[in-house]
Amino acid sequence: MTPQKDTEKNASVEKSNKKEHLSEMQYFVTQKNGTEPPFFNEYWDYFEPGIYVDVVTGEVLFTSKDKFRSGCGWPSFSRPVDPSAVKLLPDASHGMVRTEVRSQSGDSHLGHVFDDGPGGGARYCINSAALRFIPKNEMQKEGYGYLLDSV
């Protein structure tokens, strides 16, 4: 089961209204498969306790507990909260072969996953523009209290 916030608070943005509700960069990254600049994004060096959710749908994606310093200039995580919250797709764009990471419920482009993470594990290299950070002290009021023990 994919962790999701309370249904009544999960106000998913309709496809036709996404441009209205997202910044230009958020729209470019999540809807046009874009990439924000490394080191010039909101969460690349942010390490406060909390969770990261899909900026479009509010679907829970990652926790601060699984975030690490990779030096790549984007937020890096060793794993998603629940593997079923993301889908992995082959990506041969830009002359490279990579694995794209998309959110399951919103189909938002998040970034890419590589096999050079801690201990030879995964490194989910995710665009900050695809994420909304919920600090631990606000998780309960935002409807994510059931995940407090995960942070």
Q: Residue ranges per domain, the chain?
A: 17-140
Token duo for residue 92: 């041969």
Long-range pairs for 134-139: beta carbons < 8 A, 24 or more residues apart: 134/50, 134/51, 134/52, 134/53, 135/48, 135/49, 135/50, 136/48, 136/49, 136/50, 136/64, 138/50, 139/50, 139/51
Q: What confidence score (pLDDT) does residue 10 get?
A: 42
| Token digits of residue 35 | 């990439």
Active site residue 72: no
Residue owning tokens 């990471």: 101
Cα(115)–Cα(71) distance, integer angstroms? 15
Which of the residues 56, 60, 110, 125 is marked catalytic?
125
Tokens (6 digits) for 15: 């496809």
48-89 pLDDT, tens digit per residue, is 999 999 999 999 999 999 999 999 999 999 999 999 999 999
Tokens 């590589």 belong to residue: 114
**Mean pLDDT taken over the chain:** 90
Mean pLDDT computed over 145-151: 96
CATH number for 17-140: choose from 3.40.50.300, 2.170.150.20, 3.40.50.170, 2.30.30.60: 2.170.150.20
Q: HSE (CB half, 13 Å, CA atoms) of 115?
A: 3
